[in-house]
Amino acid sequence: MSLKTHYGAMQIARPGVLQWVQRQTPMPASGEVLIEVEACGICGADVADIERADPNLQPPRVPGHEVVGRIVALGSHTPAIWRIGQRVGVGRLGGYCNECAQCRQGQFQLCQQQPFVGSSCDGGYAEMMIARATGLVSIPDELSSEEAAPILCAGIATFNALKKCGAQAGDSVVILGIGGLGHMAVQYARRMGFKVVAVGRGADIADEALALGAHLYIDSQQTDAASTLQRMGGVQAIVTTVGHADSVAALMPGLAPQGRLVLLGAGKDPLPVSAGHLVIGERSVLGSITGSPFENEKTLNFSVLAGVRPMIEVMPLAQANEAYQKMKSGDVKFRMVLSMTRASPAP
């Protein structure tokens, strides 16, 4: 297979601004592959990567960490499970080192020496991308590249959080925040057998939350959500996709004894938590990162088996600035995805 000498990419020209450029096609080093990108999701975490980019970095960073494409070149010492033409994905975690203490314990998602795709290494707002083989995820045939892309981040983050939440089938679980992550969490929670309570801001999202699988929708702007949960007898878990500490803390009284709060929204503000509430009821607070490539494949396979799909809006790569701004505005239900095979509309 002959490779193009150059490829197009959207790099961060300056903080907050994406610029179309042509770059020379690189060849993968040992343990790496070159991917011809087909689709890349736009995640809320991209905001920090794009808005706070180092203006002195040369060449500028290419963002994007929900990447799906096909392998077009293999570096040396690449495991035989990966082959030319295979469709693969790469999520936020760009490939573990296999040497650190966490890797030696099999905790690959906690490897301290792996890059964060789109942040500390180039990502998928591009026609080509280099990736570590240890970060690769096999994509099921049943999913289109555009469907699979958001599952590599929003999907695995919520799927893994629900697996860690301590609830069992039949228990009540709250999903706080019905957006890019929350709309996936509601679907997974329903198919895992939980009684799903969706909590969001505003009545405009109620119909979508119920259609996605929620048994109950609570508008936190109109109702004291924690009191409602208490009247239900409390919930076994709260999975929060928002980083607003006060909104999260306001729901804590709705946790049943031995319930768990699972944090996905990585806000910087301290979380005010009553120590007495935790101790007396043996409640707990847990942080959850996305997951390993193997866990990502589990998420994709479950999505196929259970019929879980992200709700997406697709735009061509050349319109990445427009797609990014639309994601930032919140005017998306529920994920933006860039397509490298879809042409821009004629002017």
Helical H segments across the chain, by residue range = 46-51, 101-104, 145-150, 156-164, 182-191, 206-212, 225-231, 245-251, 275-281, 293-306, 320-329
Q: Are strands 17-24 and 6-14 parallel, antiparallel or unpaired?
A: antiparallel
CATH numbers and ranges of domains, the chain: 6-139+311-339 (3.90.180.10), 155-287 (3.40.50.720)
The per-residue pLDDT for range 29-71, each reduced to its tens digit, is 999 999 999 999 999 999 999 999 998 999 999 999 999 999 9
Q: Name the band, by pLDDT with cuts 50, 70 and 90, for residue 343.
A: low
User: Is residue 228 over pLDDT 60?
Assistant: yes
Rounded mean pLDDT of 127-144? 98
> Is 167:173 a contact under the CB 8 Å cutoff?
yes
The per-residue pLDDT for range 81-122, each reduced to its tens digit, is 999 999 999 999 999 999 999 999 999 999 999 999 999 999
CA–CA dist 195, 27 (Å, integer): 49
Query: What mean pLDDT, rounded, does the chain reach?
Result: 95
